[in-house]
Amino acid sequence: QSALTQPRSVSGSPGQSVTISCTGTSSDFSGYNYVSWYQQHPGKAPKLMIYDVSKRPSGVPDRFSGSKSGNTASLTISGLQAEDEADYYCCSYAGRYTYVFGSGTEVTVL
Amino acid sequence: EVQLVESGGGLVKPGGSLRLSCAASGFTFSDAWVSWVRQAPGKGLEWVGHIKNKAAGWTTDYAAPVKGRFTISRDDSKNTVYLQMNSLKTEDTALYYCATNHNFDYWGQGTLVTVSS
């Protein structure tokens, strides 16, 4: 199972929006809407930001939103803030009770 | 407050074994599925495997690279999940996290496993 494909890095100025893509095969996404996104600051554990494609856990700002079309999922950060600078990973249920993560994207706030 | 605390990491030679533990508190542990996710130094996240709850038969599933070498078990009386790692390879070197449920909604801080001669 190969990792889902994400851009290595994206950047934006404070207040701007950035979108991170996450591309896989039809088997990666297995026809289920079980895509999640994680934020990881250096030296810290990942934190769940989005689950089931577009749902936000309690406490996650509504600046973070998720979507999916075909074999590509996306995470959009609107109104970019300095504290959003981190690595972001997508993850999908891949069928047969297995999961696959994306390759990771470094978000830089200019 | 949900807490997951991993332990048991260390330096081991190729071919060796190690057992990691994940101690949980702050939620109904017996209802949770628990996964292990690893991160090699400077690399991305990789799902290792999980163990389901009693309602799902306590069954386990594993990623292809570790299947047959790693075994996940749990002791609900101790709120703890274990990862037994055998026949370790240098490519198993990573920070190993435990995380809860299908969405990996809570994570521990990880325990470092280094496989080197």
Residues of B with CB under 8 A from a CB of A: 35, 37, 44-47, 50, 61, 63-64, 97, 99, 102-110
Confidence check: pLDDT of A30 > 90: no
Q: β-pairing, A72-77 with A64-69?
A: antiparallel
- Of A48, A73, A52, A76, which is closest to residue A62 (Cα–Cα)? A76
Between A and B, how many residue pairs show a Cβ–Cβ distance under 8 A?
54
- The per-residue pLDDT for A29 is 66
Contact B105 A48 (CB under 8 A): yes
Contact A52 B103 (CB under 8 A): yes
Confidence check: pLDDT of A75 > 90: yes
- The per-residue pLDDT for A3 is 87
* Minimal C-alpha gap between A71 and chain B (Å): 19
- Condensed to tens digits (0 to 9), the pLDDT of residues B66-82 reads 999 999 999 999 999 99
- Of A49, A24, A1, A97, which is closest to residue B102 (Cα–Cα)? A97
- Condensed to tens digits (0 to 9), the pLDDT of residues A47-59 reads 999 999 999 999 9
Confidence check: pLDDT of A26 > 80: no
